[in-house]
Amino acid sequence: MLPPGSTIGILGGGQLGRMTAMAAARLGYRTVVYAPETHSIAGDVAAAHVQGAYDDTTALARFATEVDVITYEFENVPEAAVAECTRHRPVRPGIRPIHLAQHRLREKEFFRKSGLGTAEYQRIANEDDIAAATALPGILKTCTDGYDGKGQIRVATQRELTAAWDRLHRRECILEALVDFQCEVSAIVARGLDGQACCFPIGLNDHRDGILRTTVVPCGLPPAVQMAAEQSGLQLAESLSLVGLVALEMFITRDGRVLANEMAPRPHNSGHWTIDACTTSQFEQLVRAICGLPLGAVDILAPSRMINLIGDEAKDWARFLAEPTARLHLYGKGKARPGRKMGHVTYVTPKV
């Protein structure tokens, strides 16, 4: 157990690192952020910001020896950087979760091996794969570097599949069959050093253009469906031997089946509601897990609806501040761009 007063290292300088640092400070921990940028929004609230490239082993070693435990705030930190850090300090959740999450085909195969249901999928890496493709209509996705809808093209025929693969520069891809789903949900699971795990209440998600727009809790689904979604998240965390936090995004089909879609071994956008409407926030829970503290309770304090603020939507900050049930969170980013997450607002309503 790492007591308060210890130092947590965070690989990555974005908003998830920022909110993790804020939660850590509330529990009495220092945080040091490592990022390639000279300035980061996570570094704004941390005790220190270390600038360095992810392939700079000297800088990574210096950073690692200044902290007691390390985590990462996004899953595209290069594996080699995480491996270098593990030579000096424990990294939680570690290399294996990002090794899987960084590659969509590996991720889907791991889901299947872990007993989780998925949509039909196939590897697309050459013309023979295209000729043999049966997961149509579907979505062609690059195996790597996809985020917020990037690197994805919907296709209905083999002809469209060929054209889409060309547009994606003939990279290794995965073709995922379309799912006839009634809704999308996410389970966020924390698992501690002692193997104890707990799942936050299931969030009901709405995506637009590949970006999460809203999450509603309680999700309103039948208890049996919610329990199945929670069990999928817990099963994933156990299969990973996770210490930390993992989010599992899922489809709920029209006949009530739960299908795993993607995972993220870190705090997740769909868990931001927990800051204002849950006994323990997902960020505090991450700190508890990686430091060996008991996990916190995850009771819903009030019904909530989280809305992402994309691009210029954050300029309405004065209106959100004037609304009594709104809780505004701005990330301190400079320039607003289309598709860029600038903050979120959570509407919290009293329980009746």
Domain ranges of the chain: 7-91, 120-177, 181-348
Residue ranges of the chain with pLDDT lower than 70?
Answer: 147-149, 351-352
What is the spatial distance between Cα 251 and Cα 246, in angstroms, rounded to a whole number?
Answer: 17
Cα diameter, the chain: 60
Alpha carbons 334 and 330: distance in angstroms, whole number: 11
pLDDT at 209: 85
Angle subtended at Cα 108 by Cα 103 and Cα 114, rounded to the nearest 5 degrees: 125
pLDDT, position 236 = 98
- CB contact burial 24-41 (16+ within 10 A = b; e otherwise): bbeeebbbbbbbeeeebb
Q: What is the pLDDT of residue 195?
A: 97
Indicate the angle between helix axes 57-65 and 79-86, nearest 10 degrees.
50
DSSP code of 87?
Answer: T
Both tokens of 244, joined, read: 């930390």
Annotation: CATH topology of 181-348 = D-amino Acid Aminotransferase; Chain A, domain 1 (3.30.470)
Q: Which residue from 220, 187, 215, 217 is spatially nearest to 308, judged by alpha carbons?
A: 215
Give the model confidence (pLDDT) of 80-118 as tens digits.
Answer: 999 999 999 999 999 999 999 999 999 999 999 999 999
Task: Round the CA-based radius of gyration of the chain to a whole number and report it.
Answer: 20
Domain covering 120-177, topology: Dna Ligase; domain 1 (3.30.1490)
Backbone angle region of 264, left / alpha / beta, with phi > 0 → left and psi within -120 to 50 → alpha: beta
Is 336:312 a contact under the CB 8 Å cutoff?
A: yes
Instruction: Look at the block and give the residue holding tokens 């999308």.
Output: 184
* 3-state secondary structure (DSSP) of residue 351: coil
pLDDT at 10: 98
Residue found by looking up tokens 């996809």 in the block: 146
Contact (Cβ atoms closer than 8 angstroms) between residue 30 and residue 22: no
pTM for this prediction: 0.96
**Of the CATH numbers 2.130.10.10, 3.40.50.20, 3.40.50.970, 3.30.413.10, which one belongs to the domain with range 7-91?**
3.40.50.20
Query: Dihedral sign, CA of 201, 299, 236, 266?
Result: positive
SS3 category, 306: strand
